[in-house]
Structure 1
Amino acid sequence: MRVTDRLLAHRDKMTPSERQLISVLLDDYPMAGLGSITELASAASVSTTTVARMLQKTGFDGYPQFQAALRGEVKEMISGPIAKRDVWQNDLPEEHILNRYSQQTLANQKRTIDEVDPTEFDSFCNMLSDPDRRIFITGGRITGTLAQYLYLHLQMIRPDVRLLPFAASWTHDLLDVRKGDVLIALDVRRYENSTMLIGQLCQEREAEIVLFTDQWRSPIHRLAKHTFTARIAVPSAWDSMAAIVMLLECVIAEVQERLWDSVKERTDELEQAFDRTKLFRKFGQSSSS
C-alpha cells in the first residue's frame, strides 16, 4: 500500500491530535515527512510521541521505516521511462503483452474507480453544469492530449470552455479568469512546472481548481478543491492514461445528462454545421451530392 493509503485507512481510529498530524502530512505530501521527526511534530503542533504512536497504528516499525517508504515513493514519482522499465522487466510474467499489459490496465481502472468519492465526483459535475462558471482546461506534454479530449466534449456540451495552449500565450487566457471559474488541470509524474504555475495564477484569481493526477498526486493537489487520482503504472517504460480517460469519460457522460436539453440543441446546430462543411462522409450519397 502507498503511505497515503495506510494513513487514510486508519484515520478514523486516530485521536484528534493524530488526525491533525495526518492532515499535515497529506497537505504537503510527501515533503512533510522527509524532514526530522522533530520538524514534523512541530509542523503539526504535536509531540514526537504522537508521531511515533500514529506511525505504529498505521503499521510502521518507526520513523526510519516510514521515511524509507516515502523515499521509495518519491523515487517512483520522479522516475523517467528507463527507470520505469527497470522496475518491471525482472518481474514480468511469462504471458503475451496483450495479456500482461491489459490485465494491469484493467486492474488500474478498477482501483481508480474504487478510490473515487461519489460525493466529490457529484460536486465536481455540479461545478461543470453551472452556466455561470467558465471552464479552463490545461495539461502537460503527455496529458495535453487528454486535456484536448476533454475540451472537445465539454465544448459540445456547454459554452464558455477554453483549452489553454501549450505555448506561453496561455498567460493571455488567464487574464479572463475570474472568481468562481473552474480550472481543470491534468498532471502526472514527472509533474510539470508550467502546470503548477497555471494553477497558482488561477488560485490567485479565485478560480476553483480540479486536479486529475496519479496515485502519488501532483503538488497541485494542495491548491485543488477536488483531486481525482488514477493508477497509471503498467509493465512499460511509459505510464498508462487509460484510467484517467475512464474518469474523464464518466464526467462527460454525467454532465451531458444533467444538461441534456441544452446539449441536444447545441448538438443539432453542430450537426447542421457538419452537413454544410461536408466534414463527414454520408453513406448512400454520391460524392457530388
Structure 2
Amino acid sequence: MPINDEVFARMDELSPAERKVARALLAAWPTSGTESAASLARTAGTSTPTVLRLASRLGFGSWPEFQARVRDEIADHLNSPLRRSQEGIALGDGGTLGRAIADRVALVESLGTSVPPSEFDRAVAVLADRPKQVALLGGYFSRYFAMVLAAQLDQILPNVDFVAEPLGHDVGRFLQLGKGGVVVVMDFRRHELVAQQAAAAAKRQGATVLLITDTSLSPVVESADIVLPVTVDGIPFDSMTPLLVLIEALVEGVLRAAGPRGLERMRQWEESVRITRASRAAHAEEDVRDDTGPREVGAGNVEALALPGTEGGAVSAAPAGRPVETLDGRVAVVTGAAQGIGSGIADRLAADGALVHRVDRSEVDLSDTAATDAWFAGLGPVDVLVNVAGGVVGQTHTPIDELSDEAWDAVLHANLTTTRNCTRAAVRSMKPRGWGRIVMIASGAGRSVSLTGIQAYTAAKAAQIGFTRQMAHELGPHGITANCIAPGFVLSNPTTQAQWDSYGPEGQRALVERIAVRRTGTPHDIARAVSFFVAPDAGWVSGQTLSVDGGHSLF
C-alpha cells in the first residue's frame, strides 16, 4: 500500500500531534515526504520527535528510510499517467460502458479505505448536533455536488445554505459563520485558492471546517477540523461517483443521528412543498380538447383555472398559447437575506427568474440613510424590493416600566427605519419606469401580540403594516404595488430556534396546537407568498396584509 494511502487508513490510530503531522504530510504530498523531519515538524506546528514517531508507527526504522520509500513511489507515480493513457487508447472503443462501470464500482469500493471511519463519524456528529448554521461551497465541478448536499441537508436541518461566492456576492451569509457553525468545503484536484481562503476565514471566525477532497488533499486541510478524502479518477474527467455515494452516506448518517428532529423537519417539507409535475404532451393535448366535465388543475390543463366570463366563454388565468409571466430579467433586492426567511425568499425569487441582490447588516447598515442610498445607487434600477431585515436584535422581554430608550430605539431602527430607507431608495428607480413590487415582512405580532413580549417589536411590525397601506395608496398611480406578509412562528434562524427550545416540550406542543395545520412554518412557506405578491401578473393586488401562519390567527 502506498504511504499516503496507509496514512489515510490509519488516521484514527494517530495521536492529535501525529495527526497534525499526517495532515501536513498529505497536504503537500509527495514533496513533503522529501523534506527533513525538522522542516516537516515546523510546517505541522509540532516537534521533530513527533515526526519520527509517526514514521516509526508506519514501520520505518529511520527518517532516511522513510524518504527512500517516498522517492521510489514518486518515480513510479511519474510514469503512471502516461501508462494509463496509453492503455486506455490501446483498448479502443469496444466495451467502453462495461469498463466505465467497473472502474466506477472500484472507485466507490475505495471509499472504505480512503475515508477513515472515525473522521466520517465526526462529520456526521457535527452536522447532526444542532449547528447554528451550515454553509456549503464547492469548486468548478464540485459546487454542483455541494448544492445537492445542501438541498438534502436542508430537509433535515434548519439554517443550511449553499454559498456560491463566499468571498464575493455571498460574503454576508458567509460572515455569519462563527462558533457553533459548520462550513463544508468540497475542493478537488486543481484545488482552488478561494476554497483555501474561505476555509481559513471560517476557521478564524470559530466555525468547524469539514473538508471533502481528493486523496492528494486540498490545501484547505491546513484549516480543516475533519477531512474526508475521496479517490477520484477517470477519462476524460475525474469521476465524482464516489463523491455522490459519500454525500448520500452523510445525509443518511445525519438523519439517523438527528432522529425525531430530522423526521419532523422532513414531515414539514412533505406537507409544505408542492411541485407541479409535467405530463406527457399527448395526454396534455387530450386534456385540453376534453371539455366534457370538470377537471383538476394540473400540468397541461391551464383551462381548469377558468373563471365564469360575462360575455360567454371563460376568463382564464392565462390566455391560451401565452405562458404565465415570470420574473426573468427583473432585478430584486432582498434585505436580511443572510439566513432564514430572507435567504428562503431570495432563493425563491432567483428560481422565479429574478436577478437577486442579497444584503444584510454585515454588509450595509440599512438603518443608516447615507449607507443605504449609496448601496442602492450602486445597483442601478430595482424592480422588486422585499424588506425582511429586522428582528428583536438580541433582546428579551423587559417590563415597560424598566425599558430603556436605547432598547426601544434599537428595535425600531432595525425594523422600521431600515424599511423606510430601503423603500425610499428603491422607489427612486421604480417611479420613472412605472413598475415596481414592494413586499414588507412584518409579523403576526403586528396584528396581535408578540410571543416574546417585546413591546418595540410589536409596535414596529404594526407600523410596517400601516406603512404598507400608505405606500400602496401613494405609489399605485406609478404602477408600483405594496403588500405585506405577517408570518406566524417560523423556525428559521438561531434566534427562533432558541425561542422554540426555551418553550420546552409542553410549551412547544401548546404552540403547535394553536396552529390550525398543526405545524410550525418554514422559510419556504413565506417565500411562496412573496412570489405571488411580486409576480408581474399580480398588479391588481396592493395594500394587503396576508397572514401566513398555518391558521394561527384564527384562534
TM (norm. structure 1) is 0.77
Higher mean C-alpha displacement, 43-52 vs 171-180: 43-52
Amino acid at match of 1:239: D
Contact 1:203 1:209 in 2 (8 A): yes
Q: Deviations over 1:203-250 (max 9, x none)?
A: 00000011111111112123222211111112x131001100111011
Q: Deviations over 1:97-155 (max 9, x none)?
A: 11112111110101113443444333322322233421000001111111111122122
| The one of 74, 86, 89 aligned to 2:85 | 89
| The one of 21, 45, 49 aligned to 1:46 | 49
Aligned to 2:278: 281
Q: Which has the higher helix share?
A: 1
For residues 107 and 202 of structure 2, what CA distance do their matches in structure 1 show? 31
Deviation, structure 1 residue 26: 3.2
Amino acid at match of 1:45: T
For residues 199 and 212 of structure 2, what CA distance do their matches in structure 1 show? 12
Shift in alpha-carbon separation, 1:121–1:269, aligned structure 2, 3 A: same
Amino acid at match of 2:70: F
- Three-state SS of the structure 2 residue aligned to 1:157 is coil
Shift in alpha-carbon separation, 1:158–1:52, aligned structure 2, 3 A: closer
For residues 24 and 159 of structure 2, what CA distance do their matches in structure 1 show? 32
| The one of 260, 264, 273 aligned to 2:263 | 260
Deviation, structure 1 residue 21: 6.4
Higher relative contact order (CA 8 A, sep 6+): 1
For residues 249 and 68 of structure 1, what CA distance do their matches in structure 2 show? 37
Aligned to 2:434: none
Contact 2:119 2:226 in 1 (8 A): yes
For residues 98 and 154 of structure 1, what CA distance do their matches in structure 2 show? 32
Amino acid at match of 2:173: D
- 1:63-212 matches, within 5 Å, as 63-69=67-73, 86-92=82-88, 94=91, 96-166=95-165, 168-212=168-212
For residues 120 and 55 of structure 2, what CA distance do their matches in structure 1 show? 34
Shift in alpha-carbon separation, 1:214–1:11, aligned structure 2, 3 A: closer
Q: Deviations over 1:59-86 (max 9, x none)?
A: x95524424535876x79xxxxxx96x4
Shift in alpha-carbon separation, 1:216–1:267, aligned structure 2, 3 A: same
Contact 1:37 1:63 in 2 (8 A): no
5+ residue gaps, structure 2, are 284-295, 305-555
Deviation, structure 1 residue 156: 2.6
Higher mean C-alpha displacement, 216-225 vs 188-197: 216-225
Corresponding pairs, count: 271
For residues 98 and 240 of structure 2, what CA distance do their matches in structure 1 show? 17
Amino acid at match of 1:287: N
Contact 2:11 2:116 in 1 (8 A): no
Contact 1:143 1:186 in 2 (8 A): yes
| The one of 252, 272, 276 aligned to 1:269 | 272
- 1:11-22 matches, within 5 Å, as none
Contact 1:182 1:207 in 2 (8 A): yes
Contact 2:37 2:51 in 1 (8 A): yes
For residues 181 and 212 of structure 2, what CA distance do their matches in structure 1 show? 17
For residues 231 and 52 of structure 1, what CA distance do their matches in structure 2 show? 24
| The one of 57, 60, 72 aligned to 1:56 | 60
- Three-state SS of the structure 2 residue aligned to 1:156 is coil
Amino acid at match of 2:84: W
TM (norm. structure 2) is 0.43
Amino acid at match of 1:91: E
Shift in alpha-carbon separation, 1:72–1:141, aligned structure 2, 3 A: farther
The percentage of aligned residue pairs carrying the same residue is 18
Contact 1:25 1:33 in 2 (8 A): no
Deviation, structure 1 residue 7: 4.2
Higher mean C-alpha displacement, 64-73 vs 102-111: 64-73
Shift in alpha-carbon separation, 1:134–1:9, aligned structure 2, 3 A: closer
Amino acid at match of 2:134: I
Shift in alpha-carbon separation, 1:71–1:39, aligned structure 2, 3 A: farther
